[in-house]
Amino acid sequence: MAQEQTVTPWEVKGDIDYGRLIREFGTEPLSESLLKRIQKHTKELHPYLRRKIFFCHRDLNWLLDEYEKGNPFFLYTGRGPSENVHLGHITVWKFTKWLQDKFDAELWFQMTDDEKFLFKDNLELEQTNRLAYENALDVIALGFDPKKTKIFSNIDYAKTLYRQALKVAKKLTFSTVKSTFGFTDSNNVGEIFYTSMQSVPCFLPSALKGKNIPCLIPLAIDQDAHFRITRDIMPKLGYYKPALIHQRFLPSLAGSGKMSASEGVQIWTTDGPEEVAKKIRKYAFSGGADTVEEHRKNGGNPEIDASYQWLTFFEEDDKKLEKIYHDYKSGKLLSGELKQILIDTLNVFLKEHQAKREKARKVLDKFILKD
Ligand code: TRP
C-alpha cells in the first residue's frame, strides 16, 4: 500500500509522487523546449537532465534570458553537516560541478552547521562545525575549481552572513515561518530565524559587489520551502529572486521501488569495496522473480528494482543503461548479476572519490571563506 508522502526540509518519507510535488509547490516541469534551450549553451545534456532526475524548476527561462543578454549567474547550493556524506548527497553536487564547467560559473557553497545544531537534539555545535569541514572534502573531491568556488560554515563566516541575514529576518514574520514549516510555539527561536541564514547566499555576491547578479540553486526538492520564502523577500530588498532547479531523491536502497526517498541503509562515501558489496547484496530491493526459472521466463521489473534505479544515477552511458534495462526485463540478466553491475559501478566511482577526498585535505584552505 502506498505510504502518505511527506516532503519538508526536516523530513522526507513515503512514496513520493513527483507530479504532485510540482502541483503542490507550484514549480514548473522541465520541458523539452527548456532542455533544448539549455543544450544550446552546454552542447550536450547532463544525464540527470536527459533522464529527468532534475525534473522541475523556478525561473530558469528568466535566468537564461539574462545569461543570453550577457548577465551571467552564479551557483549556490549547500549541505547540512549532520553526519558523513552518503551517495544520496553527492548527486546534486555532481550536477552542480557540471553546471560550473558548462557556464563557467562561480559556486557559493553553504555548510549549515548552525542549522544542524539547532534542529538535531543529539548534536553539539562543535560536532556540526567539525563535520562542515569533513563534508567539504567530499565537495572538493568532485573537482570544483578553487578559483571559482567558495565554501563556508555559517558559524565561521557569521560576521559577513549575519549582517545580511538581519535584512531578511526583518521582512520575515513568525506567522510565515509557522505556516510554511508547520512550526509551533514550542520550536526554539533559532529554528524560527534559520531561513534568514539560508537565504543570504542568494544575494551575498550581489551585496558584496554592489550590483545585481542572477543566482541559480541546484537542490533536492525538499529544500524548496526555504526558497519560497526567500523568493518572496528578495524583491523587497532590491535583489533578483533566485532561480531553482530541483532534483528527485536517490531512492532508498531497501525500499520497494523508485518512489520512496533515500532512507534506512546508506552507502557512505568512505565505504570500502567489501562494505559496498555486502550492503547491496543484502539490502538492495530486487525487482526480480522469486526463482531463476521464473526470472528467465518472465523477466524482472527494472522500475521497482533499487539496483537498476541507482544505476540511472551512477551509470552515465545511456547505451549501457538501456542494455541493462532490456536484459533485465527479458530475464537474460539475473538479479544477482544486476547487483554486481551496481557494486562494480559504485566501487569504481568510490575508489577515485576517496583518493581525491584525501588529497582535498591539502587544498581545503583554498576553498574556505572565514571572517
Ligand atoms: N539546509 C540544507 C540541508 O539541510 C543545506 C543547504 C543550505 C542547502 N543552503 C542550501 C541545500 C542551498 C540546497 C541549496 O541539507
pLDDT in tens, 329-365: 999 999 999 999 999 999 999 999 999 999 999 999 9
**Measured in angstroms, how far is the CA atom of residue 116 from the centroid of ligand 1?**
11
Q: Looking at ligand 1, which atom is closest to the CA of residue 217? A: 14
Tell me what pLDDT residue 259 has.
45
Average pLDDT, the chain: 95
Q: Looking at ligand 1, which atom is closest to the CA of residue 219? A: 13
Name the residue with the closest Cα to ligand 1, atom 8: 78
Strand partners, 245: 57, 218
**Per-residue pLDDT for 257 more than 50?**
no
Strand partners, 79: 111
CB of 286 sitting under 6 A from ligand 1: no
Calpha distance 173→175 (Å, rounded): 5
CB of 110 sitting under 6 A from ligand 1: yes
Q: Looking at ligand 1, which atom is closest to the CA of residue 79? A: 5
Name the residue with the closest Cα to ligand 1, atom 12: 77
pLDDT in tens, 83-127: 999 999 999 999 999 999 999 999 999 999 999 999 999 999 999
**Per-residue pLDDT for 370 more than 60?**
yes
Tell me what pLDDT residue 1 has.
55
Q: Which residue's C-alpha cell is 558489496?
A: 277
Q: Which of 180, 226, 228 to mutate to test the pocket of ligand 1 (most atoms within 8 A of CB)?
A: 226
CB of 80 sitting under 6 A from ligand 1: yes
Q: Which of 75, 202, 223 to mutate to test the pocket of ligand 1 (most atoms within 8 A of CB)?
A: 223
Calpha distance 132→239 (Å, rounded): 28
Tell me what pLDDT residue 262 has.
52
Neighbours of 107 (CB within 10 A): 24
Q: In this structure, which amino acid lies at residue 152?
A: F
CB of 198 sitting under 6 A from ligand 1: yes
Name the residue with the closest Cα to ligand 1, atom 10: 78
Q: Which of 86, 108, 112, 138 to mutate to test the pocket of ligand 1 (most atoms within 8 A of CB)?
A: 112
Tell me what pLDDT residue 87 has.
95
CB of 219 sitting under 6 A from ligand 1: yes
CATH fold, domain 273-358, is Tyrosyl-Transfer RNA Synthetase (1.10.240)
Domain ranges in the chain are 6-254, 273-358
Percent of the chain having pLDDT more than 70? 97
**Per-residue pLDDT for 260 more than 70?**
no
Output 262 or 313, whichever has higher pLDDT. 313
Thinking of the domain 6-254, which architecture would CATH place it in? 3-Layer(aba) Sandwich (3.40)
CB of 77 sitting under 6 A from ligand 1: yes
Three-state secondary structure string covering the chain: CCCCCEEECCEEECECCHHHHHHHHCCEECCHHHHHHHHHHHCCCCHHHHCCCEEEEECHHHHHHHHHCCCCCEEEEEECCCCCCEHHHHHHHHHHHHHHHHHCCCEEEEECHHHHHHHCCCCCHHHHHHHHHHHHHHHHHCCCCCCCEEEEECCCCHHHHHHHHHHHHHCCCHHHHHHHHCCCCCCCHHHHHHHHHHHHHHCHHHHHHCCCCCEEEEEEHHHHHHHHHHHHHHHHHCCCCCEEEEECCCECCCCCCCCEECCCCCCECCCCHHHHHHHHHHHCCCCCCCCHHHHHHHCCCHHHCHHHHHHHHHCCCHHHHHHHHHHHHHCCCCHHHHHHHHHHHHHHHHHHHHHHHHHHHHHHHHHECCC
**Measured in angstroms, how far is the CA atom of residue 293 from the centroid of ligand 1?**
47
pLDDT in tens, 149-203: 999 999 999 999 999 999 999 999 999 999 999 999 999 999 999 999 999 999 9
Q: Which residue's C-alpha cell is 567530499?
A: 138
**Measured in angstroms, how far is the CA atom of residue 331 from the centroid of ligand 1?**
41
Calpha distance 155→158 (Å, rounded): 5
Q: How many residues does the structure list for the chain? A: 371
Q: Say if CB 197 and CB 163 are below 8 A apart.
A: no
Name the residue with the closest Cα to ligand 1, atom 9: 78
**Measured in angstroms, how far is the CA atom of residue 119 from the centroid of ligand 1?**
13
Q: Looking at ligand 1, which atom is closest to the CA of residue 226? A: 1
Name the residue with the closest Cα to ligand 1, atom 6: 78
